[in-house]
Chains A and B, each alone.
Chain A
Amino acid sequence: MRLEVYGVRKRFQRADGRALDVLDGLQFTVEPHGFVCLVGPSGAGKSTILNLLAGVLTPDGGVIRVDGQPFDPARHRIGYVFQKPRLLNWRTVRQNVEFALQAAGVDRREREGRVRQVLGLVGLDQFADEYPLALSGGMQQRVAIARALAIEPELLLMDEPFSHLDELTARAQRRELLRFRDKIEASVVFVTHNALEAVYLGDRVCVLSARPSRIVAELPIEAPRTRGLDDPALLGLERDVLRALGVE
């Protein structure tokens, strides 16, 4: 899908009654099958953006369009990978994936094949009947990714999915994500505070300002998909992102 976000504003009511402006005139576009990384300082409303795109929140102003039509989250298949796995620990890996499939209205006969397919994709086909707590943190997050991919999302939302993993595991998972990136149809919005991760994964990086957030810089990433983390071009881009963040 082609996703356009125009001048979106979001304001929350604080406990003491004062208003908190989180987003102010947010604007960006995700091309069909595109991969946009949103980078911003903590508290910049990154999760708020994803919740707006997931339909959990509604914007207070501005428009979100999908393929030129007003965005109606209920009419699209949207996959979400959270910061923490958020699995049902009392259900097996298979049942966790089935939970999303059932919610998406995929009928029983088709579910089994889909479960096998996505667990194969993330390399967990041997663990279908394990309970999540028997798996490592990295494997749990892969289950969460499988759950999001199982519904064959048109839009895949990822909220710092690797930030809770140790660096080695996170690296391996980023590489995996790039590997199966071409096998999925989804347009991806990936939120992170890690500039290098953003330039490594995305084909476009949008840099957010501090609250109330808007996009302060937009960088196309031209590097090939098979890029390595130590590619000097990526390090240059990382510096650009950090500069836009005002860190360097």
Chain B
Amino acid sequence: MRRPAVWLLSVASILALWAVIAALFPPTLLPGPGAVGRRLVELMVRGDFWLHLRATIQRVVLGFGIAFVVSVGAGVLMGARRLVESVLEPYVLVGLTIPGLCWAVLAVMWFGITEAAPVFAIVVVVLPMLTLNMWQGTKSLDRDLIEMARVFRASRAALLRDVVLPQLLPFCLAGARLGFALGWKVVVLSEMFGLSSGVGYMINRSFSAYSMDDVLAWTVGFTLVMFVVEYAVMLPLERRLVRWRPVVAF
């Protein structure tokens, strides 16, 4: 079977599974994909869906962007310099251990109902994970190639551009996926606790009204957005970056 067909079948199986399980429970507890889909369309048409969605995405993009830039610098330095590694390693490990929920609560207590709260929470949660990723990426650089560049007297700029950066790109890509996924989980928490806009806020409101249709419609809506990001941005980017790699099958 061709790949797009398999893909469609896979998506359809998720919906079918959902529909089957939903049929076993009353709709107030678990509405089926049909009901949720209709509700989602209503929300989209009504207009404030896009408003809240935009607020949430803006927060994720900003928080993720800051964390990404910092993590590339910190991670590469940790991988390349022993001293930096010794200094930053405890920070990364502590950062990885603290639950995102704690940061979301702390951020709201410190920054109140401002845009700074969710952005701060995203940065501190995502940063250790992304730094770990870039740190490992830098450690896995091929030393033989760096030595080759030295032997041929390549400039520092050429070394970074032609030897180091191409090896780090797959890690940047993995980091972007990881960071986005994590950022989305954190932003929803922050929005639930102390904000008056965003997908998390609307999910919380739907929860207070005990509207299962709405909770799921918001969740599915955001999932669809992440799907679009993955298939419209990440995958084409990845394909472009690794076109030098022959296809492997085993």
Interface residues of A (CB under 8 A from B): 54-56, 74, 78, 80, 82, 84, 86, 88-91, 99-100, 102-104, 131, 133-134, 147, 151
Instruction: Determine which of B144, B152, B245 lies in contact with A99 in the assembled complex, contact meaning CB atoms within 8 Å.
Output: B152
- Which residues of chain A are within 8 angstroms of B88 by Cβ–Cβ distance? none
In the bound complex, how far is the Cα of B153 from the Cα of A80, in angstroms?
Answer: 11
Instruction: Give the Cβ gap from A90 to chain B, nearest Cβ, in Å.
Output: 4
A103 touching B144 by the CB < 8 A rule?
no
Taking beta carbons and an 8 Å cutoff, which residues of B are in contact with A?
Answer: 144-145, 147-155, 158, 162-163, 166, 244-246
The CA of A91 and the CA of B162, in the complex, are separated in Å by 8
A102 to chain B: which residues have CB within 8 Å? 154, 158
Residue in A78, A80, A89, A131 whose beta carbon sits within 8 Å of that of B148 in the complex: A80
Closest to A148 in B: B152
B interface SS class = helix
- A100 with B147: in contact, given A89-B244, A90-B166, A90-B244 (CB under 8 Å)? no
Shortest CB-to-CB span from B169 to chain A, Å, is 8
Determine whether the beta carbon of B166 is less than 8 Å from that of A80. Answer: no
With contacts A56-B147, A88-B162, A88-B166 taken as known, whether A151 is within 8 angstroms of B244 at the C-beta atoms is no
CA distance in complex: A88, B159 (Å) = 11
What residue of chain B has the Cβ atom nearest to residue A150's Cβ?
B152
Question: How long is the Cα–Cα vector from A74 to B151 in the complex, in angstroms?
Answer: 10
Find out whether the CB atom of A151 lies under 8 angstroms from the CB atom of B152: yes
The verdict on A133 contacting B246 (CB below 8 Å), with A80-B151, A82-B144, A151-B152 known, is: yes
| Interfacial chain B residues near A134, Cβ < 8 Å | 246
Whether the Cβ atoms of B158 and A99 lie closer than 8 Å is yes
Q: What residue in chain B is nearest A98 (Cβ atoms)?
A: B162
User: How far does the alpha carbon of A55 sit from the alpha carbon of B150 in the complex, in Å?
Assistant: 9
Apart from A80-B151, A89-B245, A99-B149: 14 A-B pairs, beta carbons within 8 A: A55-B151, A74-B153, A84-B144, A86-B145, A88-B145, A99-B154, A102-B158, A103-B149, A103-B152, A103-B154, A131-B244, A131-B246, A133-B244, A134-B246
Tell me which of A82, A90, A151 has the highest count of chain B C-beta atoms within 10 A of its own C-beta: A90
Q: Which of B144, B148, B155, B166 has the most CB of A within 10 A?
A: B148
Instruction: Check B144–A86 contact: CB distance below 8 A.
Output: yes
- B32 → chain A closest CB, angstroms: 47
